[in-house]
Amino acid sequence: MTAPLVICECFARDGLQHETTEVGTGDKIALIDAMTQAGFPRIEATSYSHPKRVPGFADASEVLTRIHRRPGVHYKATCPNPKAIDRALSDLAAGHGATELSFLASATDSHSQRNLRATREEQWTRVEEMARLAGGKFRLVGVISVALGCPFEGAVDPGRVVEDVVRFAELGAELVTVGDTVGTGTPKAVRTLWERFAREVPQVTCVAHFHDTRGTGIANCLAALDGGASHFDSAIGGVGGHPSEIRYGTGRTGNVATEDLVSVLEAEGQWTGIDLDRLMRISEQCEHVLGRQLDSKVARAGLLRPQAA
């Protein structure tokens, strides 16, 4: 049997960063524990953002302390700056650290200055320092925002994205998340980009992270799969996207809904290793926690079933 596709569940971090509803620490822990039990091999658990700037993640250390872990499951924390690495190292020394740390970069200078308050080169200098401080104690995950189109600069040269993947690889990143931050990617562009990753940077696993802003998220995931992708990011209910205080224009900003992605992959004969019944119960739990109906189509209409040959 071939290895399953790897789905990283991003509700607890990338999903919640866009929410105005305050989610309690206990609810976060219960959701992450349920995700672990459902079989997700990677879970984006929290962010070491500055507690005053992003109060929703002020409980990062408590969340990482209290979750019930399963061997082989990776729990990821986002680190926006070198000070975040100090917190990550402190938690690791105390016995409850994240197993993965993600470092952020933008494919364009305009987005980098708007989102990270630094030019691209300034942010890369920070990333290099963070990788040095991490000292090989975590699995490193690079993140490239606006890789398939920028709201400020328009089209992005795929060659620059490949170069950024190489830069992350040289810093020791095993995974590089390639983000369609504003949902401007198309299936043809996505498939071509992942085919290029396979040719030019085969030593790195590139993660497909697509937003469904223009309704192309699932189609782009399937195109990435055709191009050789084996790792995907998604968020239950399709929540998340860019931070709530940053506006890139009109339209939805959410991630691909995990329920919809896993449903179509399994119906197509792909193996995800995720318990579908548990996933649907978590979907209901997420809606309850946020107090509203979320954007998953499958949550309303039911799971797809494999078609007879």
pLDDT digits (tens, 9 = 90+) for 99-113: 999 999 999 999 999
Domain housing 162: 11-301
Asked if residue 86 is part of any domain, the answer here is yes
Rg of the chain's alpha carbons, rounded to an integer?
Answer: 18
Q: Which residues of the chain have pLDDT under 50?
A: none
Asked if residue 73 is part of any domain, the answer here is yes
Asked if residue 52 is part of any domain, the answer here is yes
Quick one: pLDDT at residue 3? 85
Asked if residue 265 is part of any domain, the answer here is yes
How far is residue 19's CA from residue 48's CA, in Å, rounded to a whole number? 17
Quick one: pLDDT at residue 256? 97
Asked if residue 5 is part of any domain, the answer here is no
Quick one: pLDDT at residue 115? 87
Asked if residue 2 is part of any domain, the answer here is no
Asked if residue 1 is part of any domain, the answer here is no
Cα distances from 97 to residues 8, 63, 223, 234, 308, in angstroms, run 18, 10, 35, 23, 45
The CATH number of the domain holding residue 22 is 3.20.20.70
Quick one: pLDDT at residue 245? 52
Asked if residue 177 is part of any domain, the answer here is yes
Quick one: pLDDT at residue 306? 77
Count of structural domains, the chain: 1
* pLDDT single digits (tens) 174-185: 999 999 998 999
